[in-house]
């Protein structure tokens, strides 16, 4: 058979404003796209068991057997683009829109896919915001409760060339990544400098019998605060003190002797008088 039908999850991605980027600097834009394909997009597709169906210049179509794998691949790509665009001017950023749908597709002999499954995914990509992922209702119910991500119900939309209205859900991966940046490194702080405050020693008990203890502690504290004097200096000071005391005592004794002699002479006149 030249073709076969099957159920598949289809991811369609496209670069936002590619014509503007290529018009400003075509060579640089193409080089950046090649780098993204080799470093990010193709490895993510392979890691989540996808198959690249076709490239559309600035976009690509990928087939997955599981919607969960398709959404995980989309989240990985969009989250990585947020990091790569950090510090890049808005008008020079490469941003993707992604649409995902699960449905019946027709596989051609050359491996190309056709049918409403592919068309709906492509229309969902067209209504997605830059950095976001849009899912059809069928795809959303396949991932609900299986992935830790928040979806916004955009309501029912009429998509171009699609007969029936489609209920659309959006995963704003780029905004979620910006709202939850990596925590900053903890700030190193110097340990606080401690100070010792000495308060006056006082008895707050009101017990008069304990006052002698308080007085003793005050006196000891004052002694400890005075500069220490060496034993030699203390001995020298004591020697000077003893010398001064001896001289005082000798002077006092001499004065007393003089006073005594005077008293004796006054009470006992000389015989010749």
In a domain, 186, yes or no: no
Mean pLDDT of all residues in 210-215:
58
In 3D, which of 7, 59, 64, 53 has the Cα closest to residue 33? 59
Residue 269's pLDDT is 52
Is the domain of 159 the same as that of 58? Answer: yes
Q: Answer with the residue of higher pLDDT: 134 or 57.
A: 134
What pLDDT score does 178 carry?
45
Domain that residue 103 falls in = 4-179
Per DSSP, the three-state class of 97 is strand
In tens, the pLDDT along 124-156 reads 999 999 999 999 999 999 998 888 788 999 999
Q: How many residues does the chain have?
A: 273
Task: Tell me, yes or no, whether 167 and 236 share the same domain.
Answer: no
Specify whether 118 is located in the same domain as 228: no
Is 47 a domain residue? yes
The per-residue pLDDT for 177 is 47
In this structure, are 96 and 218 located in the same domain?
A: no
Task: Give tens-digit pLDDT for 258-273.
Answer: 555 544 445 555 544 4
Q: Is residue 71 part of a domain?
A: yes
Mean pLDDT across 202-214: 58
Together in a domain, 162 and 212: no
Count up the domains in the chain and report the number. 2
Q: Tell which of 142, 159, 179 closes a domain.
A: 179
Q: How far is Cα 111 from Cα 114, in angstroms, rounded to an integer? A: 10
Q: Tell me what pLDDT residue 185 has.
A: 47
Identify whether 191 is part of a domain.
no
CA quadruple 202, 206, 208, 210: dihedral sign: negative
Domain limit, last residue, from 179, 195, 223: 179
133 and 22 in a common domain: yes
| Claim to verify: residue 8 and residue 119 sit in the same structural domain | yes
Q: Are residues 69 and 140 in the same domain?
A: yes
Buried b (16+ CB within 10 A) or exposed e, 145-163: eeeeeebeeeeeeebeeee
Question: What is the 3-class SS of 52-113, one letter each residue?
Answer: EEEECCCEEEEEECCHHHHHHHHHHHHHHHHHHCCCCCHHHCCCEEEEEEEEEEEECCCCCE
CATH of the domain at 26: 3.30.70.1230
């Amino acid at each position: 058979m030249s073709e076969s039908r099957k159920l598949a999850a289809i991811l369609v991605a496209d670069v936002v404003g590619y014509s503007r980027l290529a018009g400003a600097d075509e060579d640089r834009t193409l080089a950046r796209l090649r780098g993204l394909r080799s470093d990010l997009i193709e490895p993510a597709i392979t890691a989540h068991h996808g198959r690249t169906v076709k490239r559309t210049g600035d976009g690509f179509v990928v087939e997955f057997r599981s919607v969960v794998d398709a959404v995980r691949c989309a989240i990985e790509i969009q989250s990585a683009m947020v990091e790569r665009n950090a510090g890049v001017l808005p008008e020079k950023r490469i941003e993707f829109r992604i649409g995902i749908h699960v449905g019946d597709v027709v596989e051609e002999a050359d491996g190309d896919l056709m049918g409403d499954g592919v068309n709906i995914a492509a229309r969902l990509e067209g209504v997605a915001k830059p950095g976001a992922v849009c899912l059809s209702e069928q795809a959303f119910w396949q991932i609900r409760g299986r992935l830790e991500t928040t979806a916004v119900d955009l309501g029912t939309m009429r998509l171009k060339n699609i007969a029936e209205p489609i209920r659309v859900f959006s995963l704003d991966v780029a905004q979620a990544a910006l709202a939850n940046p990596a925590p900053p490194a903890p700030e190193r702080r110097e340990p606080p400098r401690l100070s010792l405050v000495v308060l006056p020693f006082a008895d707050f008990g009101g017990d008069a019998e304990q006052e002698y203890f308080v007085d003793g502690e005050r006196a000891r504290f004052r002694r400890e605060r005075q500069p220490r004097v060496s034993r030699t200096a203390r001995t020298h000071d004591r020697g000077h003190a003893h010398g001064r005391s001896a001289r005082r005592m000798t002077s006092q004794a001499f004065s007393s002797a003089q006073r005594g002699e005077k008293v004796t002479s006054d009470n006992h006149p000389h015989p010749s008088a």
